């Protein structure tokens, strides 16, 4: 079994955290990742409510048939928050602490105002960082570990690739470092562990699993997508009026909506209908206009395997590769 700071600290069988993914990783996916040996996280986006969070935390912490009797499995989870969003209203943050998560992820902003409260609630703080300056901010805030999240990642991210960012962060960090962005098989996991990371945060590779919250039309689109079909865009945030700070765009599957609007964001911001169009497409699973966030690992998506199997296989394959090479 692979042993790293992450597995020893959280008592995991795989050095893998299931990425917090707003609208996609609810309690079911979080529980499945934990039962596969990693730690699953619920993605609480800026529109999530305390009631939604409570419901999903209950799902994440209830062992399913596959995990019953396996001490502790399926019962622990983490929650990921957008720091810029709780800066505007901390109701959701307080609701998260009440659910007793094992890890709280505070990314996309300065985590400093929240770290002590998370520690008082008995959880660890992780922060995804996109630049060496973000690393300094997170360390000064007193977070327990950081995730070097490269632009290869699905969803909101920075502009530096996973490997260039990971090398810089590993060289400079005085706290444990995980890697995220494009890690979709045992090969990717082995690579970042060999570089010195304590584990990986995996998102896109779990989107095809039945436990992810995703309409069938969008799941089918992901299975068909190749790595070169992702783009870094602000079109969906602009259309929906989501107040994301400008420095973070999101990596999504290219579609007709992006084609039409990506070069005309000022106009899009004043279009009265585009937000409704995207919302309707998200609900209906229409890939032509939905904001289908996914990373460059999308070309390696396994064909609908349960998330627990994806996680366990990734760890087993990485261990075999590392054993063979070192």
Ligand X SMILES: Cc1cc2nc3c(=O)[nH]c(=O)nc-3n(C[C@H](O)[C@H](O)[C@H](O)COP(=O)(O)O)c2cc1C
Residue ranges binding ligand X (CB under 6 A): 19-22, 24, 43, 45, 80, 82, 105, 107, 128, 149, 152-155, 180-183, 201-205, 293-295, 297
C-beta closer to ligand X: residue 220 or 271: 220
C-beta closer to ligand X: residue 67 or 104: 104
Rounded Cα distance between 33 and 132, Å, is 29
> Quick one: tokens of 323?
């054993």
Length of the chain in terms of residues written: 326
C-beta closer to ligand X: residue 257 or 293: 293
| 27 phi, psi to nearest 5 deg | -65, -35
Q: Is 311 exposed, middle or buried (0-12, 13-18, 19+ CB in 10 A)?
A: buried
CB of residue 25 vs ligand X: minimum separation in angstroms? 7
Strands (E), the chain: 16-18, 39-44, 78-82, 103-107, 124-129, 145-149, 155-157, 177-180, 200-202, 230-233, 249-253
Q: CB-hemisphere CA count at 13 Å for 176?
A: 17
CB of residue 117 vs ligand X: minimum separation in angstroms? 18
CB of residue 278 vs ligand X: minimum separation in angstroms? 14
C-beta closer to ligand X: residue 40 or 74: 40
C-beta closer to ligand X: residue 19 or 67: 19
Residue nearest to ligand X (CB): 203
Nearest alpha-carbon partner for 129 in 88, 195, 96, 176: 176
CB of residue 208 vs ligand X: minimum separation in angstroms? 12
CB of residue 188 vs ligand X: minimum separation in angstroms? 9
């Amino acid at each position: 079994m692979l042993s790293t700071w992450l597995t020893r600290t959280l008592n995991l069988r795989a050095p893998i955290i299931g990425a917090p993914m707003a609208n996609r990783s609810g309690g079911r996916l979080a529980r499945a990742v934990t039962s596969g040996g990693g730690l699953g996280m619920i993605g609480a986006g800026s529109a999530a409510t305390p009631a939604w969070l409570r419901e999903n935390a209950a799902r994440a912490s209830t062992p399913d048939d596959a995990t019953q009797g396996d001490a502790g499995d399926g019962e622990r989870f983490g929650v990921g928050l957008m720091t810029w969003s709780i800066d505007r209203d901390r109701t959701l943050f307080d609701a998260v602490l009440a659910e007793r998560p094992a890890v709280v992820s505070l990314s996309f902003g300065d985590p400093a105002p929240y770290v002590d409260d998370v520690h008082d609630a008995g959880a660890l703080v992780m922060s995804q960082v996109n630049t060496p300056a973000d690393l300094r901010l997170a360390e000064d805030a007193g977070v327990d570990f950081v995730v070097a999240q490269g632009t290869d990642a699905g969803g909101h991210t920075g502009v530096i690739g996973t490997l260039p960012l990971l090398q810089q962060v590993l060289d400079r960090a005085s706290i444990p470092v995980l890697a995220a962005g494009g890690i979709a098989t045992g090969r990717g996991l082995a690579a970042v562990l060999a570089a010195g990371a304590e584990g990986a945060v995996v998102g896109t590779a779990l989107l095809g699993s039945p436990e992810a919250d995703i309409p069938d039309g969008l799941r089918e689109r992901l299975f068909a997508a190749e790595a070169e079909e992702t783009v870094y865009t602000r079109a969906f945030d602009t259309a929906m009026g989501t107040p994301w700070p400008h420095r973070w765009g999101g990596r999504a599957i290219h579609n007709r909506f992006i084609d039409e609007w990506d070069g005309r964001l000022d106009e899009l911001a004043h279009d009265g209908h585009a937000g409704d169009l995207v919302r309707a497409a998200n609900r209906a699973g229409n890939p032509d206009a939905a904001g289908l966030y996914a990373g460059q690992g999308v070309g390696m998506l396994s064909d609908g395997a349960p998330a627990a199997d994806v996680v366990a296989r990734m760890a087993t394959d990485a261990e075999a590769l590392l054993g063979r090479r070192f």
